[in-house]
């Protein structure tokens, strides 16, 4: 066969043709497998799977939208159907309880200590959770202290929304607080904070604190106040109630006085959103809240955002504390799509968590240590104080485990109601005794 | 002569069909069997949606069950334990206050409303439909309106009072113990008035006008006509409406849940909300069922009163 005869009529040599065909084949194969590669070799069992996900509503709305889009992205790529529902925080737990009993939901977002409550109804995700932790350089200490049930992970830890003291820079300056323009420099005791409240209430700008039956801000303020004055629900043995302590009674007396002198007294009925609105309307000059206030202000009230900073929660004689336990994404045993749910969580934590976390610009405290040194914390100095929050984190039921008893005390708002009763009734002794009796009924 | 097989079969089928039809007709003709037949769907629904949950609730109340974990039989321990629970005792007190304060107001104001609506006024049909709105609108939705009215920060009432110089700060409607229970009672009264109004209006319209005319001719004053003609005529419907209202108010849930979730410091918890909090939020479904069952004797008492009255009327 002559050399010429090896040429095809189009003028392309056989070798060239084979090269091109080979490249084209590789290209087609590569393009065809793109979604599979991006979605981690989507197994066949995902096609047609139907997942229902239940979460608490987001205070940073764009992050909720992003989560929905991400879920749909996964669903589209693997040929599954995913529905995402977002409930008000106080409604989330009853809905999960109903799902545990009746089914219909596959993945649920659990608040700290709920893993204990539903432990018999949750799929063991230890292997996957440890993989997620390993990839992130290990879990944060507060996650390790809160997310496991008897050493097992019954959900993948996702971190927790932040919370600390938001304040108006101008008001603090006016009250003579040195370094008010930079919350990172403020390191107050409760006495100092209450004294400021008194000073500013006299000028018509009181502090505000939610003490109603709501699951976020009221316990996030009340538990740390208790811990920082040496009291706790229960000792390490999980039985001995350590609530009615003289130093805590004294602290309660100071709080009663501070409430009259420095706070907006309608706070006894506030829920997680009332203090946001009060702050954004200029009615109060400081409150315990997530940075969602600041985010909302940046969007709608730039002058208030400009005048807002955050500082660490005040400290008491026993130290500085935050109530901080990790939320987890768990799979209900009643789910008919356990494997698909695991694949979804593996994908989301592996591929999407980072984007979701960054969008919230520090509102959501991360679950793993690799984010400790992330440049995001340098982006906005007003968010920097939250970076240190995990260092002071304790979970419900401390010094005991965050188990179902701790959860029952939390669900009955015992610590919150102790403070609410104190400011309503005026007797610190009676309120603390009431709280101790209630805790004794649970832990005794 | 033998009957051909096919024909024999047809005849046999026909006669058997006829027998079936007769039997069916007989079943439908007899009052007793027809009654049973008509009752079956309702009875099935009641068994599935009322009796089963009720008996399940009784069983749960005798166990230490948690959500997702069937517990052990503990006898009456949950019932006894609750008697030592301050929050439960507060809840019981709140429930009685809530029901016993609101129902007389609802009945009295509903009567007044009915008397007004009974008069020949323009657009009376439209007005009657409009006053039913609080009763018709879903409770959770209408309560959100009250939630805004009682808002600790943006309450229009507080705003008005401050601008009129009658208050120096916002009214703590849902945060002060006395104001909180008063506020939820007020919302409940608002919601319940139309029910009384329309029921009593129906009773009023059944009173023959001749009776009023005869009394007027005999020289009876307006008050005497109301006292001796109207009241006896509507006594029955008022009583029935009152008993029903007591039962519904005792078993209320939505209004309190939307407004206060039982706060502040449990000052507005009623049986329904506390049972929900303990049974579903705290997942102690056994104790939650026990709290709900404490309502049962109270509701049963009023239900029996209602049935006795209706039977006497019959």
Interval B178-199: pLDDT, tens: 999 999 999 999 999 999 999 9
User: Tell me: the pLDDT tens digits for A325-352?
Assistant: 999 999 999 999 999 999 999 999 999 9
**% of chain B beyond a pLDDT of 90:** 63
What pLDDT, on a 0 to 100 scale, did the predictor assign at position A381?
93
* Mean pLDDT within A108-126: 93
CA distances A414 to A169, A226, A396, B284, Å, are: 34, 12, 12, 16
Which residue of A259, A269, A281 to mutate against B (max B Cβ within 10 Å)? A269
* Mean pLDDT within A69-91: 94
User: Tell me: the pLDDT tens digits for A345-388?
Assistant: 999 999 999 999 999 999 999 999 999 999 999 999 999 999 99
Strands annotated E in A34-155: 50-56, 81-87, 107-110, 148-149, 152-153
What pLDDT, on a 0 to 100 scale, did the predictor assign at position B165?
93
Which residue of A110, A412, A425, A439 to mutate against B (max B Cβ within 10 Å)? A412
Asked whether residue A390 is domain-assigned, the answer is no
The answer to whether the CB atoms of A269 and B282 lie below 8 A apart is no
Q: Over 90: is that where the pLDDT of A321 sits?
A: yes
Q: Which two tokens stand for residue B234?
A: 């509507």
**SS3 category, A205:** coil
Give the β-pairing of A286-289 and A308-311: unpaired
Q: Which residues of B touch A93 (CB under 8 A)?
A: 280-281, 283
> B276 to chain A nearest CA, in Å?
8
Q: Verify that A334 and A358 share a domain, yes or no.
A: yes
> Positive or negative CA dihedral for B27, B31, B34, B40?
negative
What pLDDT, on a 0 to 100 scale, did the predictor assign at position B122?
80
Percent of chain A as helix, strand, coil, to the nearest 5: 55, 15, 30
Q: Which two tokens stand for residue A168?
A: 């108006």
CA distances A168 to A47, A165, A187, A305, A307, Å, are: 52, 10, 16, 9, 5
What pLDDT, on a 0 to 100 scale, did the predictor assign at position B92?
97
The answer to whether the CB atoms of A265 and B284 lie below 8 A apart is no
Asked whether residue A386 is domain-assigned, the answer is no
Q: Verify that A231 and A275 share a domain, yes or no.
A: yes
The secondary structure of residue A391, as a DSSP letter, is G
The secondary structure of residue A153, as a DSSP letter, is E
Put simply, whether B80 touches A (Cβ < 8 Å) is: no
Q: Which residues of B touch A213 (CB under 8 A)?
A: 260-264
Asked whether residue A206 is domain-assigned, the answer is yes
Nearest CA in chain A to B178: A424
Q: Over 90: is that where the pLDDT of A11 sits?
A: no
Q: Verify that A168 and A143 share a domain, yes or no.
A: no
CA angle, residues A90, A94, A96, in degrees to nearest 5:
110
Q: What is the CATH number of the domain that holds A307?
A: 3.40.190.10
Which long-range contacts does A134-137 make (Cβ < 8 Å, 24+ apart)? Answer: A135/A350, A135/A368, A136/A366, A136/A367, A136/A368, A136/A369, A136/A370, A136/A371, A137/A368, A137/A369, A137/A370
Closest C-alpha to A79, from A40, A48, A106, A37: A48
pTM of the model: 0.83
Q: Verify that A189 and A80 share a domain, yes or no.
A: no
Domain span at A44 = 14-161+325-377
Nearest CA in chain B to A269: B175
The beta-carbon neighbor of A268 closest among B68, B175, B284 is B175
What pLDDT, on a 0 to 100 scale, did the predictor assign at position B1?
44
Nearest CA in chain B to A92: B281
Residue B83 to residue A394: CA distance in whole angstroms:
33
Count Cα neighbours of B44 within 13 Å in the Cβ-side half-sphere. 5
Number of domains in chain A: 2
Q: Over 50: is that where the pLDDT of A297 sits?
A: yes
The answer to whether the CB atoms of A411 and B278 lie below 8 A apart is yes
Q: Which residues of A touch B253 (CB under 8 A)?
A: none
Residue B314 to residue B310: CA distance in whole angstroms:
6
Residues 111-170 of B with CB under 8 A from A: 151-154, 169-170
Q: Verify that A288 and A251 share a domain, yes or no.
A: yes
The answer to whether the CB atoms of B283 and A407 lie below 8 A apart is yes
Higher pLDDT, A29 or A387: A387
Residue B34 to residue A431: CA distance in whole angstroms:
64
Give the β-pairing of A286-289 and A327-331: unpaired
Cis peptide, bond prior to residue B264, ω within 30 of zero = yes
Residues 215-244 of B with CB under 8 A from A: none
Put simply, whether B276 touches A (Cβ < 8 Å) is: yes
* Mean pLDDT within A380-407: 92
**SS3 category, A208:** strand
User: Tell me: the pLDDT tens digits for B108-126?
Assistant: 999 999 999 888 778 888 8
* Mean pLDDT within A194-222: 96
Asked whether residue A394 is domain-assigned, the answer is no
At A139, give phi and psi (nearest 5°).
Answer: -80, 155
Q: Over 90: is that where the pLDDT of A26 sits?
A: no
Q: Verify that A273 and A207 share a domain, yes or no.
A: yes
> What is the rounded average pLDDT for all residues in chain A?
90
The answer to whether the CB atoms of B153 and A97 lie below 8 A apart is no
Q: Verify that A116 and A78 share a domain, yes or no.
A: yes
Matching residue, tokens 């939250």: A386
Asked whether residue A139 is domain-assigned, the answer is yes
Rg of chain B in Å (alpha carbons): 28
Q: Verify that A115 and A99 share a domain, yes or no.
A: yes
The beta-carbon neighbor of B261 closest among A90, A404, A424 is A90
- What residue ranges define each of the domains in chain B, with the CATH number in brackets? 3-61 (no CATH), 84-313 (1.10.3720.10)
Residue B238, Cβ neighbours under 10 Å: how many? 18
The ipTM estimated for the assembled molecules is 0.79
Put simply, whether B288 touches A (Cβ < 8 Å) is: no
Higher pLDDT, A178 or B282: A178
| CB-based contact A357:A60 (threshold 8 Å) | no
Q: Verify that A21 and A144 share a domain, yes or no.
A: yes
The answer to whether the CB atoms of A404 and B66 lie below 8 A apart is yes
User: Tell me: the pLDDT tens digits for A270-289?
Assistant: 999 899 999 999 999 999 99
Nearest CA in chain B to A406: B282
> Positive or negative CA dihedral for A74, A77, A80, A82?
positive
Asked whether residue A5 is domain-assigned, the answer is no
How many helices and strands (H and E) does chain A possess? 21, 16
What pLDDT, on a 0 to 100 scale, did the predictor assign at position A36?
47
Residue B90 to residue A420: CA distance in whole angstroms:
15
| CB-based contact A297:A305 (threshold 8 Å) | yes
| CB-based contact A207:A275 (threshold 8 Å) | no
Residue A283 to residue A270: CA distance in whole angstroms:
14
| CB-based contact B242:B209 (threshold 8 Å) | no
| CB-based contact B151:B211 (threshold 8 Å) | no
Asked whether residue A239 is domain-assigned, the answer is yes
The answer to whether the CB atoms of A413 and B263 lie below 8 A apart is yes
The answer to whether the CB atoms of B282 and A417 lie below 8 A apart is no
Q: Which residues of A touch B281 (CB under 8 A)?
A: 90, 93-94, 97, 411
Which uninterrupted H or E stretch holds A369? none
Q: Which residues of A touch B172 (CB under 8 A)?
A: 265-266, 268-269
| CB-based contact A46:A79 (threshold 8 Å) | yes
Q: Over 80: is that where the pLDDT of B298 sits?
A: yes
Nearest CA in chain A to B153: A278
Mean pLDDT is highest, among A403-412, A429-438, B25-34, for A429-438
Count Cα neighbours of A147 within 13 Å in the Cβ-side half-sphere. 28
User: Tell me: the pLDDT tens digits for B230-244?
Assistant: 988 898 899 999 999
The beta-carbon neighbor of B282 closest among A266, A411, A420 is A411
Give the β-pairing of A81-87 and A322-323: unpaired
What pLDDT, on a 0 to 100 scale, did the predictor assign at position B17?
80
Q: Verify that A347 and A432 share a domain, yes or no.
A: no
* Mean pLDDT within A51-66: 94
Q: Verify that A146 and A187 share a domain, yes or no.
A: no
Q: Verify that A81 and A215 share a domain, yes or no.
A: no
> A130 to chain B nearest CA, in Å?
26
Q: Which residues of B touch A115 (CB under 8 A)?
A: none
Which residue of B91, B258, B264 to mutate against A (max A Cβ within 10 Å)? B264
The answer to whether the CB atoms of B264 and A420 lie below 8 A apart is yes
Nearest CA in chain A to B259: A269
Put simply, whether B94 touches A (Cβ < 8 Å) is: no
User: Tell me: the pLDDT tens digits for B265-293?
Assistant: 899 999 999 999 999 888 899 999 999 99
What pLDDT, on a 0 to 100 scale, did the predictor assign at position A360?
93
Q: Which residues of A touch B264 (CB under 8 A)?
A: 211-213, 268-269, 420, 424
Residues 6+ apart with CB under 8 A from B168: B162
Put simply, whether B83 touches A (Cβ < 8 Å) is: no
Put simply, whether B69 touches A (Cβ < 8 Å) is: yes
How many helices and strands (H and E) does chain B possess? 17, 0
* Mean pLDDT within B212-229: 90
Residue A23 to residue A16: CA distance in whole angstroms:
11
Which uninterrupted H or E stretch holds A329? strand A327-331
What pLDDT, on a 0 to 100 scale, did the predictor assign at position B314?
65
* Interface A:B, Cβ pairs < 8 A: 123
* Mean pLDDT within B142-157: 94
Residue A127 to residue A218: CA distance in whole angstroms:
35
Q: Which two tokens stand for residue A293?
A: 């206030």
- Residues of chain A that touch chain B, judged by Cβ-Cβ distance less than 8 Å: 90, 93-94, 97-98, 100-101, 117-118, 120-121, 211-214, 264-271, 274, 277-278, 281, 283, 404, 407-408, 411-413, 417, 420-421, 424, 434, 437-438, 441
Residue A236 to residue B19: CA distance in whole angstroms:
80
Higher pLDDT, A137 or A30: A137
**SS3 category, A336:** coil
Q: Which residues of B touch A270 (CB under 8 A)?
A: 152, 175
The answer to whether the CB atoms of B263 and A420 lie below 8 A apart is yes
Nearest CA in chain B to A435: B86
Q: Over 70: is that where the pLDDT of A27 sits?
A: no
| CB-based contact A325:A215 (threshold 8 Å) | no
Q: Which two tokens stand for residue B255?
A: 């209004």
The beta-carbon neighbor of B283 closest among A97, A266, A267 is A97
Closest C-alpha to B119, from B56, B179, B209: B209
Neighbouring-strand partners of residue A311: A165
């Amino acid at each position: 066969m002559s050399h010429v005869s090896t040429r095809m009529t189009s003028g392309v040599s056989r070798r060239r043709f084979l090269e091109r065909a080979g490249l084209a084949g590789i290209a087609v194969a590569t393009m065809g497998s793109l979604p599979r590669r991006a979605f981690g070799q989507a197994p066949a069992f995902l096609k047609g799977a139907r997942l229902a996900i239940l979460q608490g509503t987001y205070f940073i709305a764009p992050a909720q939208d992003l989560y929905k889009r991400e879920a749909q992205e996964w669903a589209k790529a693997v040929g599954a159907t995913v529905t995402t529902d977002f409930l008000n925080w106080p409604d989330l737990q009853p809905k999960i309880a109903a799902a545990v009993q009746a089914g219909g939901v596959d993945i649920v977002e659990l608040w700290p200590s709920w893993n204990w409550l539903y432990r018999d109804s949750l799929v063991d995700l230890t292997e996957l959770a440890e993989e997620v932790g390993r990839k992130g350089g290990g879990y944060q200490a507060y996650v390790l202290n809160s997310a496991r049930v008897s050493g097992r992970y019954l959900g993948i830890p996702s971190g927790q929304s932040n919370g600390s003291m938001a304040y108006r820079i101008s008001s603090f300056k006016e009250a003579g607080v040195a370094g008010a323009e930079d919350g990172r420099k403020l390191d107050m005791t409760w006495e100092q904070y209450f004294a400021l409240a008194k000073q500013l209430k006299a000028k018509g700008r009181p502090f505000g604190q939610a003490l109603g039956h709501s699951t976020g801000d009221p316990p996030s303020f009340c538990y740390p106040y208790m811990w920082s004055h040496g009291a706790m629900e229960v000792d390490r043995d999980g039985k001995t109630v350590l609530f009615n302590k003289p130093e805590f009674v004294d602290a309660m007396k100071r709080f009663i006085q501070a409430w009259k002198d420095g706070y907006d007294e309608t706070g006894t009925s506030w829920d997680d959103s009332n203090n946001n609105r009060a702050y954004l309307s200029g009615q109060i000059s400081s409150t315990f809240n997530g940075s969602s206030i600041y985010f909302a202000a940046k969007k709608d009230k730039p002058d208030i955002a400009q005048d807002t900073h955050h500082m660490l929660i005040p400290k008491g004689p026993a130290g500085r504390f935050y109530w901080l336990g990790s939320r987890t994404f768990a799979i209900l045993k009643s789910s008919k799509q356990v494997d698909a749910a695991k694949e979804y969580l593996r994908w989301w934590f592996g591929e999407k968590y980072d984007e979701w976390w960054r969008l919230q610009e520090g509102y959501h405290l991360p679950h793993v240590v690799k984010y400790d040194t992330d440049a995001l914390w340098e982006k906005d100095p007003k968010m920097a104080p939250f970076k240190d929050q995990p260092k002071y984190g304790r979970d419900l039921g401390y010094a005991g485990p965050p188990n179902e008893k701790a959860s029952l005390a939390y669900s009955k708002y015992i610590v919150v109601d102790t403070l609410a009763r104190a400011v309503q009734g005026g007797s610190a002794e009676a309120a603390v005794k009431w709280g101790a009796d209630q805790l004794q009924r649970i832990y005794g | 002569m033998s009957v051909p097989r096919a024909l024999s079969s047809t005849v046999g089928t026909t006669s058997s069909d006829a027998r079936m039809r007769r039997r069916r007709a007989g079943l439908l003709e007899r009052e007793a069997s027809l009654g049973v037949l008509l009752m079956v769907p309702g009875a099935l629904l009641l068994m599935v949606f009322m009796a089963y949950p009720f008996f399940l609730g009784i069983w749960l109340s005798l166990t230490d069950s948690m959500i997702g974990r069937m517990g052990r039989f503990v006898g009456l321990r949950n019932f006894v334990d609750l008697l030592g629970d301050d929050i439960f005792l507060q809840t019981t007190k709140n429930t009685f206050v809530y029901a016993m304060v609101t129902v007389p107001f609802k009945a009295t104001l509903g009567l007044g409303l009915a008397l007004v609506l009974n008069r020949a006024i323009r657009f009376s049909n439209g007005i009657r439909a409009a006053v039913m709105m609080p009763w018709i609108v879903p409770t959770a939705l209408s309560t959100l309106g009250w939630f805004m009215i009682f808002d600790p920060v943006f309450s229009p009432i507080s705003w008005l009072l401050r601008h009129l110089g009658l208050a120096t700060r916002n009214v703590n409607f849902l945060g002060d113990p006395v104001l909180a229970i008063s506020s939820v009672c007020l919302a409940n009264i608002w919601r319940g008035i139309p029910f009384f109004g329309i029921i009593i209006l129906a009773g009023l319209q059944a009173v023959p006008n001749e009776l009023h005319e005869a009394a007027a001719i005999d020289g009876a004053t307006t008050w005497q006509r109301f006292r001796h003609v109207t009241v006896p005529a509507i006594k029955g419907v008022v009583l029935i409406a009152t008993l029903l209202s007591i039962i519904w108010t005792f078993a209320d849930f939505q209004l309190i849940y939307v407004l206060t979730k039982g706060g502040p410091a449990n000052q507005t918890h009623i049986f329904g909300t506390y049972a929900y909090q303990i049974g579903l939020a705290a997942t102690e479904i056994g104790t939650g069922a026990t709290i709900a069952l404490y309502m049962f004797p109270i509701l049963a008492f009023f239900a029996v009163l209602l049935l006795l009255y209706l039977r006497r009327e019959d």
